[in-house]
Structure 1
Amino acid sequence: MGKPTGFIEINRKEAIEREPSERIHDMNEYKERFSDEDMKEQGARCMDCATPFCHIGMDIDGATSGCPIHNLIPEWNDLVYKGQWKEALRRLEQTNNFPEFTGRVCPAPCEGSCTVAINDPAVAIKNIERAIIDKGFEKGWIKPREVEYRTGKTVAIVGSGPAGLAAADQLNQAGHTVTVYERSDRAGGLLMYGIPNMKLEKDVVTRRVRLLKAEGISFILNTEIGKDISADALRENYDSVILCTGSQKPRDLPIQGRQSKGIHFAMDYLTESTESLLNDNTEPEITAKGKDVIVIGGGDTGADCVATAMRQGAKSVNQFAINPQLPLKRTEDNLWPAFPKVYSLEYAHKEAKEVFGEDIRQHAIQTKAFITDGQDGVQALYTVDMEKQKNDKGLFVYDEKKGTEEVWPAQLVIIAIGFEGTESPLLDQFGISSTKGRIDAEYGDFSTNIEGVFAAGDARRGQSLIVWAINEGREVACSVDEYLQGVTSLPTVQTV
């Protein structure tokens, strides 16, 4: 695959990014495309490695390694190297319904398990993927596909995130009549409102939704199942129902002062920011303008909140993480092909460093209390440093370090410490059984305890990656197709 000696002769090129000092003044995407010639060179770095670990798609030590949708990565790398872009697109579309999404926002576990990455920087898989799909749209190669035969069976999908859209796409191509219900005013789920515009511009999402509509999928927006339409009515009107509602119940931080004004969940903050952008740049109610901002939570969602606060004109920004700072290189217990748990500066942190002159992340720190200003508004955070160590049972625990107490000014606090699971009112209406916020439905089967009702994505699996959502959307489509027809003609993720 690629040029036999390409990985020796050619260095990896990182994605082209607009300068942090420039991009913090707008909400446009911060990454730009490589030239075709650069992409050809980067594709040439793909080794003929016999066993390509880049698409193994499995969990190692609690993190995903390789591509869960088993993208045919070496094949389309080779085709890009040879300049055969249209054929590369066809290979990419065999496994991935939405490469324009994954090529922008997936954390690329494929690159962590790339064979080149054992000793050198990985092949630029994610950038090549994006280049292929973007060229496909630009050249007009991607057009609505005509469904030649309709089965007469109907499917309702609740939720229009990547899992719901992938399931809808697959089932529509199988000939079923598919209707997607979304409680927001725009389709896309977290793709639309949970991921900021600078990572995924919203016309990219609406372009795909328009394509799905043109292929025959119906979208009903501003409609909440269990409120606007009962679960019973949905089951009566459709032959099957798929719940792809995501894991949207945020994990809270119930400590002293939590009731103070100015403390918000990350999704509320990000959603309102995107809504204001899409509604003619109206001023959002939750804004960081002129405020000291603290984001609690060290993950990608927290970084997105940092980037958003920067663009809103925050006075200062800090991001708190309970975990210690990651090492600069892989440790002995994090060897290839596991996902590399190493220190890096995300786009938001690069921007903050440009403005404030340092990495704004605070590691191994715990918030003990919110301090109010005497008028019910948050004024500061009271914290203590933490030390991670093993207890007498060999388990890692966090202990407070005496004498490290500190007070941090903050008039806006964003809680971004993850999600507890799917929201329960909908499940109660259906009578769906769940465990710790996750719908009880076995992977590979996806059926719930209610006849004809299936579940997939974060609602079933818990908070996860976009590629796992697409994986589950494709797989649940196979199960529903077999339920409706007695047999399925859809390809499973495992056998593409």
Structure 2
Amino acid sequence: MGKPTGFLEIPRSVSSKKHPSARLKDYKEYIVLLPKSEQGKQGARCMDCGIPFCQSGVTINNMTTGCPLHNLIPEWNDLIFKGKWDEAVVRLHKTNNFPEFTGRVCPAPCEAACTVALHGDAVSVKENECSIIERAFEDNLVVAHPPKVRTGKTVAVVGSGPAGLAVADQLNKAGHTVTVYERADRVGGLMMYGIPNMKLDKKVIDRRVSLLEEEGITFKTNAEVGANVDAKELHSSYDAVVLACGATKPRDIVAKGRELKGVHFAVDFLKATTKSLLDSNLKDERYISAKDKNVIIIGGGDTGTDCVATSLRHGCAGLMQIEIMEKLPPLRANNNPWPQFPKVHKTDYGQVEFAQKYGDDPRTFATVVKEFVGNDRGEVTQVKTVKIKWAAGPSGGMQPVEVAGSEEVIDADLVLLAMGFVGPEQEILKQLNVETDSRTNVKADYGKFATSADKVFACGDVRRGQSLVVWAINEGRECAKAVDEYLMGYTIL
């Protein structure tokens, strides 16, 4: 720790953001990192705690606190304070294969567990991380390092999201010959098409994939295992198969009128926009347009926020975001103490942009949709909602109770369902005869990652259910150890 009093002397400072009115004109990343000198000062705020909760990655009350990758946060914070950026990226890569991804889209459980956050503002860990890797790319410090020796073993990885890329990267480093199968036309999984450009520019993904290719990994796109790629043939052609195909089955809603035209899953809306943007800068118009439409977004999480921001860029006429949960408090409640992840009200980039344009927050809380109303052409025109209160049910758990007289009818031309995902798609699992658990996820123990099928392993969301990018990378790295040991009888990872 280069400056023991840094957190007392230096206030937290974070990146600047393009003004909402300016960034709504395009789909470019809206965050501008601090200058290198200023970012280094932020590293001085780190206390190098005797117990660095920031890198703990533990689960408390079903929420992650601290980094699941156990990033060496105090070490690289100290290094950037001392100006040793070249050493900082080496320490960062020891635990995180893709800090340029987590530095952009991770919700930063590291900062939630930061000791400084107990009575003040957390160290800006996430932005320090992003700054380290971006400076490293600028200075040509991130270069390909192909393995010097090959083992002769072959591995197929199904899925190119963060878990698939991480397991592929680690197994390639161990000398195995790795082929990644991706059903979409571009590599990256939900990072490519499920996260808008404003949060994660796709050039960032392509840059890393190019490095992985230089290191010897083969990527096959438009290759859907279980459809145009025979699952059994794949199984017989490789020494090991890793399922990292995510939990991509979106949660649906049970309500009258669900079949009406204009009601879409958020993931389809976001994917189509990003694909059209990358293919033609939206000129091909092959996407679900929100232009001049009254948009209703059902779901208050990150995906719902992404839908808000994307709809605004399309030029929607109006917008409402419906959240079933009650509005969270502005500060930690007594039953949510540090170092738990803080359950507090947050306003993300989409809501900020909406407020800039319309003057208020688009969200309505403690509300559920009862019915979709349509016209004689089968198109959605209205949404009927009702307010709820959360109360203890007969079994003791909290359940929603409708508030009498709170019904409302809202005009709607486009409805986006952003209520998360309920598990992986099942066809490939059936073809490989892989056992699933009660939540339809692949049954495989953490640490072992072996499925019920011979030489088939699973990691990431397909195994644990919808989770964070940082957990996906963790699972990919840990799964690679298990696969390496299976192939070689020991592991060097």
How does the TM-score come out when normalised to structure 1? Answer: 0.98
Partner of 2:379: 377
Partner of 2:129: 129
What is the DSSP-based 3-state SS (H/G/I as helix, E as strand, rest coil) of the residue aligned with 2:228? coil
Report the Cα offset of residue 392 of structure 1: 5.5
Partner of 1:196: 196
Partner of 2:53: 53
Q: Is 1:237 paired with 2:237?
A: yes
Of 311, 316, 331, 1:329 maps to 331
Separation of aligned partners in 2, 1:393 and 1:303: 33
Report the Cα offset of residue 441 of structure 1: 0.4
Report the Cα offset of residue 127 of structure 1: 0.4
Of 345, 355, 358, 1:356 maps to 358
1:50-108 residue CA offsets vs partner (Å, 9 max, x unmatched): 11100110111111100000000000000000000000000000000000000000110
Q: Is 1:443 paired with 2:446?
A: yes
Partner of 1:459: 462
Partner of 1:221: 221
What is the DSSP-based 3-state SS (H/G/I as helix, E as strand, rest coil) of the residue aligned with 1:116? helix
- Equivalences for residues 247-326 of structure 1 within 5 A: 247-281=247-281, 282=283, 283-326=285-328
Separation of aligned partners in 2, 1:105 and 1:278: 20
1:307-335 residue CA offsets vs partner (Å, 9 max, x unmatched): 10010001111111100001000001111
Unaligned runs of 5+ in 2: none
- Equivalences for residues 1-80 of structure 1 within 5 A: 1-80=1-80
Separation of aligned partners in 2, 1:359 and 1:335: 27
Separation of aligned partners in 2, 1:16 and 1:343: 21
Report the Cα offset of residue 390 of structure 1: 2.5
Separation of aligned partners in 2, 1:285 and 1:474: 35
1:348-386 residue CA offsets vs partner (Å, 9 max, x unmatched): 110001011001111000000001122100001100001
Separation of aligned partners in 2, 1:232 and 1:429: 7
Separation of aligned partners in 2, 1:49 and 1:485: 39
Of 390, 394, 412, 1:410 maps to 412
Q: Is 1:209 paired with 2:209?
A: yes
The share of aligned pairs that are identical, in percent, is 52
Say how many residue pairs are matched: 490
Separation of aligned partners in 1, 2:396 and 2:56: 31
- Equivalences for residues 140-179 of structure 1 within 5 A: 140-179=140-179
- 8 Å CA contact retained: 1:380, 1:408: yes
- 8 Å CA contact retained: 2:276, 2:287: no
Separation of aligned partners in 2, 1:33 and 1:152: 43
1:39-58 residue CA offsets vs partner (Å, 9 max, x unmatched): 11111111132111001101
Letter in 1 for 2:255: I
What is the DSSP-based 3-state SS (H/G/I as helix, E as strand, rest coil) of the residue aligned with 1:284? coil
1:386-431 residue CA offsets vs partner (Å, 9 max, x unmatched): 1112245542121100010001111000001011100011111001
Separation of aligned partners in 2, 1:48 and 1:151: 40
- 8 Å CA contact retained: 1:422, 1:459: yes
Letter in 1 for 2:245: T
Report the Cα offset of residue 14 of structure 1: 2.6
Letter in 2 for 1:46: C
What is the DSSP-based 3-state SS (H/G/I as helix, E as strand, rest coil) of the residue aligned with 2:180? strand
How does the TM-score come out when normalised to structure 2? Answer: 0.98
- 8 Å CA contact retained: 1:29, 1:200: yes
Unaligned runs of 5+ in 1: 491-496
Of 339, 360, 377, 2:341 maps to 339
Letter in 2 for 1:56: S
Question: Quick check: 5-14 or 68-77, which moved more?
Answer: 5-14
- 8 Å CA contact retained: 1:2, 1:77: no
Question: Quick check: 32-41 or 207-216, which moved more?
Answer: 32-41
Letter in 1 for 2:362: I
Report the Cα offset of residue 256 of structure 1: 0.2
What is the DSSP-based 3-state SS (H/G/I as helix, E as strand, rest coil) of the residue aligned with 1:413? strand
Partner of 2:429: 427
Partner of 1:471: 474
Partner of 1:493: none
Report the Cα offset of residue 248 of structure 1: 0.4
- 8 Å CA contact retained: 1:244, 1:458: yes
Separation of aligned partners in 1, 2:404 and 2:249: 34
**Structure 1 segments (4+ residues) deviating >3 Å:** 391-394
